[in-house]
Amino acid sequence: MAMERLVLLIFLCYLSPRFAADAYDPVDPLGNITIIWDFLGIDTTSTVMVSIHNYQLYRHIERPGWRLGWTWAGHEIIGDVTGAETTEQGNCSGVHFDPRKPPHCCDKRPVMVDLPPGVPYDKQVANCCRGGVLSSLTQSNSTATAAFQMYVNNFERDGGNADGVPVKPTNFSIGVPGYTCSNATQVPATRSKVGPQRHVQVLLTWQITCSYSQFRDGPSPSCCVSLSSFYNNTIVGCPQCSCGCPRSPSAPQCLSDDEQSKIQALRDGDGDDPPAPVIRCTEHMCPIRVHWHVKQNYREYWRVKASITNYDVVSNYSDWNLVVRHPNLGNLTQLFSFNYQPLIQYGTINDTAMFWGIVNYNDMLLQDGNVQSEMILKKDPSEFTFSGGWAFPRRVYFNGHECAMPSPDQYPSLPNAAWDVRVSAVQRWLVTGSCLLLLSMFLVV
């Protein structure tokens, strides 16, 4: 009996989306952000090349970007850095240095940030200077990595070790909500690329892994899903209070349509940092709504229209992406105005697709705007059905966040055959009424 209870508990935990979000992502089981410290030289001044690799298939780091922090184990200071900078210099009063070149950072816990694009060439290293933005691995492999090089003075040696191995820092963080980072572990050193054609030998390598959890990111979703179909006039909207109830502490600030002057004032505000979210007041209170409309039903195919609406009146979403789980996505035949790639496949199962915008066309979801696409899917006779909400997605993610879905018992009803496209509900009632009238006449006779 005890064993049966244990099995039941494990099964329930597996079904819990919150548990899965905190421990395992079935959509991207190997996704993480890996930080590598490569020591190119170990002496009184150590040269360290730090690289940040986003190995997540569909999650990316948006502005204001990553902010890599750690705690030194001893009295280390950063003498100089290329390709990034710390947010604070700290107190260097107890450090001996050349007055003509003070240390870059003397903080016990430095926080390193990326440089913006366009800095002078002598301040750059390869893969630096993108403002902390990291693309997802699927969207752009070339911009999913960041790097900087720092020169660290006065490393304290590991217990007086003869080989002079530095002591690992602790308390690593990437500075992005939802991520937690491991301690540094030593891995086999290989070589590091320092130029387009040059590699140098690495003497020591540390590795840190940062993983994401939506549960740690926030208590409520940041997007929601609404549904509709050609066969039913009812539009199933996002669940009420999907992202927090209006005027509640957990919800973002919202403005009604009659507050246009406030909206314009927020848009005219300046500043380098992204503004705090300000959305239009709605029942769902989400910055993003994804609408899935089953548009047409053919004999061998069916057609879907997907729309993404940005209710944030002050912020754009650059390099956005949409992940959809649906059992028929393996038979996607044609797609209009979005990029597409299957995200992960288990044998013959291919039910998860990633969509993102076309560069210089719709890769930026503008404030208070929308993007949309249509797709045609081929019916699989062995599994195809329109009943029971089959035509609607199982899960939807926007920019790596799982969206709130309507309750399945609210899904629009759908026909199960293509001829229903050509016969409206009114026509069916007229036909039924005529048959009943004819039947009553025969009975009277």
Tens digit of each residue's pLDDT (9 = 90 or more) over 284-330: 999 999 999 999 989 899 999 999 999 998 889 999 999 999 999 98
Model confidence pLDDT, tens digit, residues 240-295: 999 988 877 777 788 887 676 666 666 666 555 667 778 999 999 999 999 999 99
Q: How far apart are CA 375 and CA 371, in angstroms?
A: 14
**Total-model pTM:** 0.82
Decide the pairing of beta strands 204-212 and 253-255: unpaired
Domains and CATH numbers, the chain: 21-216 (2.60.40.290), 220-265+276-421 (2.60.40.290)
- 62 compared with 348, residue with greater pLDDT: 62
Q: Rounded to the nearest 5 degrees, what angle is found at the Cα of 22, between the Cα atoms of 17 and 24?
A: 80
Q: Return d(Cα 445, Cα 433) in angstroms, integer.
A: 19
Over range 99-119, report the average pLDDT: 92
Which has the minimum average pLDDT: 11-20, 167-176, 227-236, 366-375? 11-20
- For residue 51, give the nearest of 139, 158, 134 by alpha carbon: 134
Contact criterion met (CB below 8 Å) for 52 and 147: yes
Region 405-422: mean pLDDT is 67
Mean pLDDT of 323-340: 94
Q: Which two tokens stand for residue 254?
A: 């919202």
Residue type, 96: H
Q: What are 220's two structure tokens?
A: 């409520």
Radius of gyration of the chain (CA): 28
Q: Is 181 helix (H, G, I), strand (E, B) or coil?
A: strand
Establish whether the linkage from the previous residue to 64 is cis, with ω within 30° of 0: yes
